[in-house]
Each structure stands twice: as C-alpha cells, then as structure tokens.
Structure 1
Amino acid sequence: MKKVFKITAPEGLHARPCTLLVTAVTPFSSDVQLIYNDKSVNLKSIMGVMAQGISTGSVVTISASGVDEEALISKVTEVITSEGLGVEC
C-alpha cells in the first residue's frame, strides 16, 4: 500500500517532523518505507529519514506492507496533514 505526499512545511522534514512521523509508525508491525528521489529508507529510523534532506515542495511516497498497513498509512496521513507537514497528492 502506498500514498504520495507533497511536503509543505516551510522548513521541510527536519528533526521535529521526523520525530513525529517515526513516533507515529513505530507501534505498527508492518514494514514502512519513505521513498524520496528513488532512495528508500525505513520510516521507523529517525536518522534514515533525516538523512534524506527533504525540503519544502518535495514529493515523497510512503509505502507500507504487513498486517496493519492500512492503519499505518492512515496514521501517517493524519500526522502529515494535522501537523501541517504536507498534503496528499
């Protein structure tokens, strides 16, 4: 299951937004990846996500696979939209 987002936060995905996302997905058992510029990192890894250097206007894909993938994608969507980090594409 995949969903695409455009990052709208003025500072991009820096430490605070990355922490929010990693914290949101950690309780889920599904594998979850953040894909940006053809590079995929584990969304449960704060260092991996921050190393992507995702700036405002970037388009990222969140990909989840596992027993609770739908709930995981729903949670990611909720965090990204409610925290003003981005919008669904």
Structure 2
Amino acid sequence: MAQRTTSIASKVGLHARPASLLANTATSSGHDVTLTAKGRTVDADSLLSVLSLGIGHGDEVVIGVEGTDDERVADEIAALLASDLDSV
C-alpha cells in the first residue's frame, strides 16, 4: 500500500467540486483509494464520504492506495489535492 500525506490547497477545502474531482480520479484509477482526515478513513471514490470528513483549506490528509501501480496513483492524487482545485 502506498501512502502520501498532503495539505488541501483549495481555499474553501474539499467542497462539492474538488471532492467530486477527487472521487472521479480515485474511481477511474482502478485502485482502492482511501482518504484519512480528522481521525476517520473513508473510501475516496465516494463523494458523500469525502464530503462527510469536512476537510478545510490547509487540513492535512493521508491518501492510501492499493493496487498494482499504487505509487504512481498516490503521487497523482496527492498532487491533485495539493493544487488549487477551485481554479480548475
């Protein structure tokens, strides 16, 4: 399992649009992707689960990825969350 820790760059956190981008990326990767924040771990491919974490700007999250190309996918998702998704 590959893990990455990053801070959320979007100025308003993981609201609907950035959370949707994360969920879509996790789903399309074909890997099992989890997101851990505030003491809870959820499946990153579930928009509602990601939103339930209430992740704000600057909050630190841990991304977990299981699969054959887990290192690449973890890097990709970490880079996504570390970018300002409000301007995408």
Is residue 29–residue 67 contact of structure 1 (8 Å, CA) maintained in 2? no
Distance (whole Å) between structure 2 residues aligned to residue 70 and residue 84 of structure 1: 22
In the TM superposition, 1:50-89 aligns within 5 A as 50-81=51-82, 83-85=83-85
Q: Specify every segment of 5 or more residues in structure 2 that has no aligned partner in the other structure, as ranges.
A: none
Q: Specify every segment of 5 or more residues in structure 1 that has no aligned partner in the other structure, as ranges.
A: none
TM score, norm. by length of structure 2: 0.84
Runs of 4+ in 1 over 3 A off after TM superposition: none
- Following superposition, the deviation at residue 80 of structure 1 comes to 2.3
Is residue 11–residue 84 contact of structure 2 (8 Å, CA) maintained in 1? no
- Provide the aligned length of Structure 1 versus Structure 2: 84
SS at match of 1:53: coil
